[in-house]
Structure 1
Amino acid sequence: MKKIMVVLMVCLMVLNGCTKDNTQDYTKVSNQTYLLGTLVKVTVYGKDVSKEVFNGAFDIIKNIEATVSKNEDNSEVSQINKGQEISLSESTYKIIEKGLYYSQVSKGKFDITIAPLVNLWGIGTKNAKVPSHEEIQEAIKKINYKHITLDQKTNKIQIHQPIELDLGAIAKGYVADEVSAYLMEHNMGHAIINLGGNILTVGEKPDGSSWKIGIQNPFDARGTKLGVVTIGQKSVVTSGIYERYLEEGDKQYHHILDPFTGYPVENELASVSIISNLSIDGDGLSTVVFSMGLEEGFDFIEGLDEVDAIFVTKDKEVYLTSGADEIFMLTHEDFKKKQMKK
């Protein structure tokens, strides 16, 4: 579901690198490539950072993409979408398992079987269009995460009615977590992983201080921030109406689709940023709470441990959950911090 006119905006910007005191011991090395339908950038601060470190990180991304992309003919997801009940690789199993969890807790507002609707709109592709009401209703009938069961003993997926998976709203988070684990295993303890706006920091900065991550202004050009979060090892993931969209006439249709109406989610939100320990949770939750809307989404996040959120409304109001209020600084004068009414 996640993340057109292929204006794929990187919604978060890394603001600080190493301090001058550390440049003698640590070298900042970055490498980037195009994977997962976006620009992937890995930045490592270390000693003797080799090319092989980046090759290994990108290989992880390529391998997972090859198994979970619905656009890859031989991927596991493509086989599932053709009706095959297959044994899943560890990565595909974990992504579907987490996707089903968020489908359940959101009561279907987030649904990993949304592929028929995503394919119909085609947002982000050359075939993007506004479908007819009849086409949308037909697509909705095919969406239901309850038609999937996972067998933990055999790692098999069982399909009870024809479905089509789209793991785009959660797979990037899993990938980021896997790259983070890989870097730490190779003693690269200070790094930033940027998967097209999904940011995951590894460790702290080399001098022991926190990272400062900019939050994208959803109403302005890429790289224009509305504020900054100060974090240690954390994930920051944003979903917003500006990331990918389709314009027809004087109306703009964003990419976050409602499985119940078949149209882009309509509420007061322009973006939601999730701050969490694991990027897979941030990825799933950013879509879940955006679909819930401000009040329901805010209460939902406040009920979770070690997860916080920054809600930005179309009226340029910023609402912060209790933990986010401690680490976020608003820097743009056009926006105003507001308190949720109790």
Structure 2
Amino acid sequence: MKYDVLKTKLQALTLLVIFIFCISACGNSENSEPVTKTNFLLDTVISIEAFGPYASEAIDKAFDRIADIEKKMTVNAESSELIELNKKAGKELCEVSPDTFFVIKKGLQYSRLSKGKFDITVGPLVRLWGIGTDKAHIPALTEIKKALSLIDYTQVKLDESQNAVFLKKAGMALDLGGIAKGYAADESVKVLMQSGVESGLIDLGGNLYAIGTKPDGTPWKIGLQDPFDVRGSIFATVEVADKTLVTSGPYERYFEENGKKYHHILDTNTGFPIENGLMSVTIISDSSIDADALSTVVFSMGLSDGIKFVNGQKNIEAVFVTGDYKVYASSGINKYNFKVTNKRFKMESCIE
């Protein structure tokens, strides 16, 4: 099912962590100016900025890699490896590429870690609500109950020897929307660095990766989008190098019916969008695939459990925004020179 292209472009611009401060000049070398290119892949606007003599060719290679991943893992096309796998649910084992197998395996890891709050078998429920498409609607309770009966990550069998996957129940469907963009970001970084890029920024519709530092040696200063305001309005900043930032929030993709907003982060227990007072969660880590999954995992946990969970992880930090304009952060956030810059927001003490 195709997303509306114009709507998706606008949504991509509203994701947290897309406002990037101006890059400082770095001398008069011929490679001081960045090469920036955009593309539309993975149902979102992608922007890559890179420095170096081979930056242009490197970016093209990165786009090719992302397109390859999309071709394998999308559910919004006529065919893909994931679509074929879902068609064979309850029938037979399906061999997939190493890329798709790796992402599914990683997705199952986070499904177990979150005890199903993040569950890659959520496909039937996602398809039922249709949020992000022109068919978004509130499903009947009977339909939701049926979809929930098909969501169970323990019913996915992996065959490592063949890169094969089996969905044990007919009607099951994997959806990698909560993790595939992170994998694509990580793979893009590999391509750029293998091509000699040591400084750059990748933005896959809000999945941001800062490669190295800016050419002048200073960290990248990233503005965090105000989830209550128009695009480009920020509430805080962080400074990072060789880090990824990924966010989840109800403002990213939703529809309205009878004056109520219904967003895309669905509760795998109730079948309805999660309502826990959070407006956004930003994860900062070394791996974008991890940050992608964790942003949903932590959002689903809620504020208190989410902060406790992040504080128990290595090399992971998080920023939380609640519906009353309060900001909370994990215990190690200050190493990124985190600052709240909008006076409407109030920084709160860390919840223990």
Q: Give me the TM-score of the superposition, normalised by structure 2.
A: 0.93
2:277 counterpart of 1:268: yes
Residue among 145, 148, 161 paired with 2:153: 145
Distance in structure 1 (CA, Å) of the matches to 2:226 and 2:195: 35
What amino acid sits opposite 2:147 in the alignment? A
- C-alpha deviation, 1:322, in angstroms: 1.3
Distance in structure 2 (CA, Å) of the matches to 1:219 and 1:158: 42
Matches within 5 A, 1:328-339: 328-339=338-349
Residue among 59, 72, 77 paired with 1:72: 77
> Relative to structure 1, is the Cα distance of residues 341 and 167 closer, same or farther in structure 2, using a 3 angstrom cutoff?
closer
- C-alpha deviation, 1:155, in angstroms: 1.2
Q: Which residue of 2 aligns with 1:298?
A: 307
- Larger mean CA deviation between 6-15 and 173-182 belongs to 6-15
> Relative to structure 1, is the Cα distance of residues 31 and 25 closer, same or farther in structure 2, using a 3 angstrom cutoff?
closer
- C-alpha deviation, 1:151, in angstroms: 1.8
What do the CA deviations read for 1:207-247 (whole angstroms, capped 9, x no partner)? Answer: 11101111111101111111001111100001111100010
What do the CA deviations read for 1:250-306 (whole angstroms, capped 9, x no partner)? Answer: 101111001110000010210000000000011000000000000111111111000
Q: Which residue of 1 aligns with 2:133?
A: 125
- C-alpha deviation, 1:87, in angstroms: 1.7
> Relative to structure 1, is the Cα distance of residues 257 and 23 closer, same or farther in structure 2, using a 3 angstrom cutoff?
farther
Could you tell me whether the CA contact under 8 Å between 1:200 and 1:234 is conserved in 2? yes
What amino acid sits opposite 1:33 in the alignment? N
Q: Which residue of 1 aligns with 2:202?
A: 193
Give 5+ residue unaligned stretches, structure 2. Answer: none
2:44 counterpart of 1:44: no
Distance in structure 2 (CA, Å) of the matches to 1:200 and 1:22: 26
Task: Calculate percent identity across the aligned residue pairs.
Answer: 44
> Relative to structure 1, is the Cα distance of residues 191 and 139 closer, same or farther in structure 2, using a 3 angstrom cutoff?
same
Q: Which residue of 2 aligns with 1:204?
A: 213
Residue among 251, 254, 258 paired with 1:245: 254
Give 5+ residue unaligned stretches, structure 1. Answer: none
Matches within 5 A, 1:1-342: 6=8, 7-8=10-11, 9-12=14-17, 13-21=19-27, 24-50=30-56, 52-83=57-88, 84-162=92-170, 163-327=172-336, 328-342=338-352
Q: Give me the TM-score of the superposition, normalised by structure 1.
A: 0.95
Distance in structure 2 (CA, Å) of the matches to 1:20 and 1:187: 18
What amino acid sits opposite 2:266 in the alignment? L
- Larger mean CA deviation between 166-175 and 74-83 belongs to 74-83
Distance in structure 2 (CA, Å) of the matches to 1:181 and 1:323: 27
| Length, aligned pairs only | 339
Could you tell me whether the CA contact under 8 Å between 1:150 and 1:157 is conserved in 2? yes
> Relative to structure 1, is the Cα distance of residues 36 and 222 closer, same or farther in structure 2, using a 3 angstrom cutoff?
same
What amino acid sits opposite 2:144 in the alignment? I
- C-alpha deviation, 1:153, in angstroms: 2.1
- C-alpha deviation, 1:49, in angstroms: 3.1
- Larger mean CA deviation between 67-76 and 161-170 belongs to 67-76
SS where residue 153 of structure 1 aligns? coil
Could you tell me whether the CA contact under 8 Å between 1:27 and 1:47 is conserved in 2? no
Distance in structure 2 (CA, Å) of the matches to 1:49 and 1:326: 30
- C-alpha deviation, 1:88, in angstroms: 1.8
What do the CA deviations read for 1:136-160 (whole angstroms, capped 9, x no partner)? Answer: 1111111111110212222111222
SS where residue 53 of structure 1 aligns? helix
Distance in structure 1 (CA, Å) of the matches to 2:131 and 2:267: 14
What amino acid sits opposite 2:33 in the alignment? T
Could you tell me whether the CA contact under 8 Å between 2:31 and 2:53 is conserved in 1? yes
For the aligned residues, what is the CA RMSD? 1.6
What do the CA deviations read for 1:84-107 (whole angstroms, capped 9, x no partner)? Answer: 522221110111011001100100
Structure 1 segments (4+ residues) deviating >4 Å:
3-7
